[in-house]
Chain A
Amino acid sequence: MTHALELKSLTKTFGKTEIIRGIDLAIDAGDRIAIIGPNGAGKSTLFNLISGRLSPTAGEVLLHGQRIDGKRPFEINRMGLSRSFQITNIFPKLSVFENLRCGVLWSLGAGYTFLRFLSKMHDANERTEELVRQVGLEKKRNVLAVNLTYAEQRALEIGVTIAGGASVILLDEPTAGMSKTETSHFIALIKQVTVGKTLLTVEHDMGVVFGLADKIAVVVYGEIIAFDTPAAVRANARVQEAYLGSSVADAQGGH
């Protein structure tokens, strides 16, 4: 069986600095993986390599068995992989509804057409309405994204990410900057909207990690030093060492 996402000796260097040093990782469809590691370990770079924002120096990325390394982000997205961003990355001057509809359009075959009216594209509009409900922004449906609260913008970010119906979802620190109550509410939201999908999350908050992931990959200095269930990772001696002798759970306050 082909894996949903597979990394083969993935390497990325910036100048002489090796940021990602030969990462191998196989993720099956429906897996929910959290990637953790200290700051500067290469987690975000790894996401950028997978999603096409950067192209790898060496190695391969396979999505459902097909090579995607070196492809442009929009090509990768069309093949069923979608990502969110650590710093909210939405369309500030479009309304919540329009933001989500933009995310829906390609997957419903709208393409670049200028011969159809959006208002007449009922499938896109119905799907968008459903998304508005899913991310809990019904009351803000027509509000410009720039006027939303931070937590609402984060929810919209997730909505735009899942809008195209991608089967593999990458979330880059989805709860960064949120309060405790917002975070727990948000984990429930993420779980709900990613049911049945393959999920990769970069996260600092261990509460979120244990809430969302079945398996944890620990990245330190561009290498995966552990890939296992949360309990096993917690007990792993190398992981504890990497976090300077402290337990993994202590890492959550650090960032």
Chain B
Amino acid sequence: MSTIATKPAAHETVVQPRSAKPLNVGRIAIWSAFALALIVAPLIFTSSLALTMLSQIGYLIIICLSYNMLLGQGGMLSFGHAVYVGLGSFIAIHTMNLAAKGSLPVPLVLIPLVGGLGGMFFAVLFGYVSTKKSGTTFAMITLGLGELVAAMALMFPTFFGGEGGITTNRVYGTPLFGINFGAQNQVYYLIAVYCFVCTGLMFAFTGTPLGRMLNAVRDNPERVEFIGYSTQRVRYFSFIIAGFFAGIGGGLAAINFEIVNAVDSLNGLRSGGYLLFTFLGGATFFFGPMIGAVLLVFASVLLSELSKAWLLYLGLVFLLMVMFAPGGVASLIMMNVRVALFGKFNRFYALYAGLIVTAAIMVAGAAAIVEMIYHMQLNAALGPTVRLAGFELDTSSPKSWLIAAGLLIVGLALFELVRRRYVQVWGKAQEEIEFEIKRRETA
């Protein structure tokens, strides 16, 4: 990545203060594309399932980005992010109920902000304790605080609604221009506006003194103390800001579902989900968590529909990702963009096609075996057949097991062959790029 950044500088004989001007065109294009995608998405994917998923993606983008403020930008591995999202949701839903009764004059469009202030309030409170420490100690404190809040939520049923949770009706007050937020697409556009603005604000944060010092604290906290900054303060202030955006995400979730449940909105499992998908998306790039949010929705909505074993698949994907692509999907994309920028992507078309086909064979075999085992363990009473992607598999016949195993083995062998070739070509391309960079530097 660094090498991409250095490329333009190599031509400059006199180094000028970097004004953002040459970048602005690209930046405007990217942000416009993002806005356009948010606007157009529900017009292209019109089913109600798609709209539900898009709405969830919208606020999860905010939540995952706010989480990455801690993880990717600050090196703070928090296991309790659901606390700020969830408490934001509760504050928001109570405010909605009060507003509906007429006790509080808060229109629905401002409810996410109320959630944000709620998340921020608790970040001020809990962050004061947790951000005093860093590294493993910080992680343990956030875990403890998360469990504490989750357990306490069940002890205060009046506020948290016990196991049933708190419900609300988002249609209240006088509709503005005929918009009462009853219909899902109106809610989606409310989420989309917040998503766009919050993403913009969080991106802006990365270019401020506090944002930069947060990177410095991530890289080398000790040194930060010797250039005039208190690492605790930097972590604390950033934690509060992350809590604010988490709360906004929570507020939007409350509007979207019209119910908040303490049992599953505050616990460690939910926090773990934010961590997992932020990581999968890619914590080292700003946009990585946005990919993570999309993956999170696809995994929890679609994958869970397709298979009972979806958590197993998810775990495997996470495992492989941590081992082979710790930078997440975003880093995979950026690595290939770099190759493409140097005009060396052509040679990879066949290889990627090969990787995809062989991986598909391998996955098909593995999935068939997993599904058959799951079926035998859980649904044996329903007979020996299990359906997978349109095929009928007979768990009682050795033939289906042999075919599945055969697919897995053949797929694995072919994949390995293609992978070895790919690694060679990739290595060579990288060498050529390094050489090209050196050449440009000396030129």
Chain B residues near A114: list those with CB within 8 A: 205, 208-211, 237, 241
Instruction: Tell me the residues in window 77-110 of chain A with beta carbons closer than 8 Å to chain B beta carbons.
Output: 77-78, 82-83, 85, 89-95, 97-98, 101-103, 105-107, 110
Q: Is the CB of B227 within 8 A of A113?
A: no
B338 at the interface (CB under 8 A from A): no
Q: Which of A89, A106, A115 contacts B229 (CB 8 A)?
A: A106
Q: Which of A85, A112, A117 contacts B237 (CB 8 A)?
A: A112
Chain A residues near B230: list those with CB within 8 A: 72, 74
A117 to B227, CA, bound (A): 20
Stretch of A141-149, A195-203, A206-214, A246-254 contacting B (4+ beta carbons < 8 Å): A141-149
Q: Is the CB of A78 within 8 A of B5?
A: no
Q: Is the CB of B208 within 8 A of A102?
A: no
Contact code string B199-223 (vs A, CB < 8 Å = 1, else 0) = 0000011011111110110111011
Chain B nearest Cβ from A159, distance in angstroms: 11
Stretch of A9-17, A60-68, A124-132, A186-194 contacting B (4+ beta carbons < 8 Å): A124-132
Q: Is the CB of B20 within 8 A of A91?
A: no
B252 at the interface (CB under 8 A from A): no
A111 to B208, CA, bound (A): 11
Max count, chain B CB within 10 A of own CB: residue among A83, A111, A112, A139: A112
Chain A residues near B218: list those with CB within 8 A: 93
A103 to B5, CA, bound (A): 21
A211 to B17, CA, bound (A): 35
Chain A residues near B2: list those with CB within 8 A: 95, 142-144, 147
Chain A residues near B26: list those with CB within 8 A: none
Main DSSP-derived SS at the B contact region = helix
Residue of B nearest to A77 (CB): B228
A89 to B223, CA, bound (A): 6
Residue of B nearest to A84 (CB): B226
Given known A-B contacts A95-B2, A164-B228, A111 and B209 have beta carbons under 8 A apart: yes
Q: Is the CB of B225 within 8 A of A73?
A: yes
Residue of A nearest to B215 (CB): A94
A200 to B254, CA, bound (A): 60
Given known A-B contacts A112-B210, A114-B211, A125-B17, A90 and B223 have beta carbons under 8 A apart: yes
Contact code string A224-248 (vs B, CB < 8 Å = 1, else 0) = 0000000000000000000000000
Chain A residues near B204: list those with CB within 8 A: 117
Chain A residues near B5: list those with CB within 8 A: 95, 142
Q: Is the CB of A132 within 8 A of B15?
A: yes
Chain B nearest Cβ from A116, distance in angstroms: 6
Chain A residues near B229: list those with CB within 8 A: 74, 105-106, 112
Chain A nearest Cβ from B245, distance in angstroms: 12
Residue of A nearest to B23 (CB): A119
Chain A residues near B19: list those with CB within 8 A: 119
Q: Is the CB of B241 within 8 A of A74?
A: no
Chain A residues near B213: list those with CB within 8 A: 102, 105, 112
A18 to B251, CA, bound (A): 58
A138 at the interface (CB under 8 A from B): yes
Chain B nearest Cβ from A193, distance in angstroms: 16
A82 to B213, CA, bound (A): 18
Q: Which of A82, A89, A92, A102 contacts B212 (CB 8 A)?
A: A102
Max count, chain B CB within 10 A of own CB: residue among A82, A102, A141: A102
Residue of B nearest to A81 (CB): B226
Instruction: Tell me the residues in window 10-48 of chain B with beta carbons closer than 8 Å to chain A beta carbons.
Output: 15, 17-20
Chain A nearest Cβ from B199, distance in angstroms: 16
Q: Is the CB of A116 within 8 A of B208?
A: yes
Q: Is the CB of A91 within 8 A of B223?
A: yes
A168 at the interface (CB under 8 A from B): no
Q: Which of B15, B208, B226 contacts A77 (CB 8 A)?
A: B226
State how many residues of chain A have any CB contact under 8 Å with chain B: 50
Chain B residues near A132: list those with CB within 8 A: 15
B104 at the interface (CB under 8 A from A): no
A26 at the interface (CB under 8 A from B): no
Q: Is the CB of A82 within 8 A of B216?
A: no
Max count, chain A CB within 10 A of own CB: residue among B204, B215, B225, B226: B226
Contact code string B237-279 (vs A, CB < 8 Å = 1, else 0) = 1000100000000000000000000000000000000000000
Q: Is the CB of A102 within 8 A of B227?
A: yes
Q: Is the CB of A51 within 8 A of B226?
A: yes
Q: Is the CB of A106 within 8 A of B227?
A: yes
B300 at the interface (CB under 8 A from A): no
A126 to B18, CA, bound (A): 10
A125 to B16, CA, bound (A): 10
Given known A-B contacts A132-B15, A144-B2, A117 and B208 have beta carbons under 8 A apart: yes
A122 to B16, CA, bound (A): 12
Q: Which of A85, A118, A141, A143 contacts B209 (CB 8 A)?
A: A118
Contact code string A35-79 (vs B, CB < 8 Å = 1, else 0) = 000000000000000010000000000000000000011100110
Q: Is the CB of A141 within 8 A of B216?
A: no
Chain B nearest Cβ from A148, distance in angstroms: 10
Q: Which of A112, A122, A141, A143 contacts B234 (CB 8 A)?
A: A112
Chain B residues near A138: list those with CB within 8 A: 15
A160 at the interface (CB under 8 A from B): yes
Chain B residues near A102: list those with CB within 8 A: 212-213, 216, 224, 227
Q: Is the CB of A103 within 8 A of B227?
A: yes
Residue of B nearest to A51 (CB): B226
B332 at the interface (CB under 8 A from A): no
A78 to B223, CA, bound (A): 14
Q: Which of B205, B216, B225 contacts A74 (CB 8 A)?
A: B225
Given known A-B contacts A91-B220, A126-B17, A73 and B6 have beta carbons under 8 A apart: no
Q: Which of B15, B208, B219 contacts A141 (CB 8 A)?
A: B15
Q: Is the CB of B233 within 8 A of A112?
A: yes
B197 at the interface (CB under 8 A from A): no
Q: Is the CB of B209 within 8 A of A82?
A: no
A-B contact pairs, 21 of them (CB 8 A): A73-B225, A74-B227, A74-B228, A85-B223, A89-B220, A89-B223, A89-B226, A90-B220, A91-B219, A93-B219, A94-B215, A102-B212, A105-B213, A106-B229, A114-B211, A115-B208, A117-B208, A118-B212, A141-B15, A147-B2, A163-B227
Seed contacts A85-B223, A112-B237; 20 additional CB < 8 Å A-B pairs: A74-B227, A77-B227, A82-B226, A89-B223, A93-B218, A95-B5, A98-B212, A102-B213, A105-B228, A106-B228, A113-B210, A114-B205, A114-B208, A117-B207, A117-B208, A118-B207, A119-B20, A122-B17, A138-B15, A143-B6
